[in-house]
Amino acid sequence: MGLVQREIEAAGFTTIILSPIADLTASLSVPRVAAIEYPCGRTFGQPGDAAGQMAVLRATLDALAAIDAPGAVVNLPFEWPESPKEVRSQSIETPPIGSYLQRNPWDLPRLVYRKVPQPS
């Protein structure tokens, strides 16, 4: 993502990345980082929490406006409401493509080469 950000910045647009692992992200020389202590894969918040997700988005955009020079990291003021153990213990529904490939693993090479199987 850092390469894409640098190219967009070179074209004259200001960018920021929202990251739950800000130290690693910043080490990639991205122009601006909004750091959030949320689990990976849930950077914007809890599933279905539109208000919380909007708050994260607004805080990220505020950080973008507040950062004067590239290279800065801003820590957003959000805290995840569950312990890490609770986050990992939640069962997540398998995406449809995952379910399909569990039933039809031989179709994976076709999908990789964009030859989508037709329904029978």
pTM greater than the 0.85 cutoff: no
Q: Is residue 107 part of a domain?
A: no
Range of the domain at 29: 2-91
Q: Is residue 71 part of a domain?
A: yes
Most confident of 3-7, 48-52, 80-84, 107-111: 48-52
Q: Over the stretch 76-99, which tens digit does the pLDDT of each residue have?
A: 999 988 776 776 655 567 778 888
Residue owning tokens 């800000």: 22
Task: Give the Cα separation of 110 and 113 in Å (integer).
Answer: 5
Q: Is residue 105 part of a domain?
A: no
Q: Is residue 98 part of a domain?
A: no
Q: Is residue 99 part of a domain?
A: no
Domain count, the chain: 1
| Overall average pLDDT of the 20-36 stretch | 91
Dihedral sign of CA atoms 25, 27, 33, 36 in order: positive
Q: Is residue 18 part of a domain?
A: yes
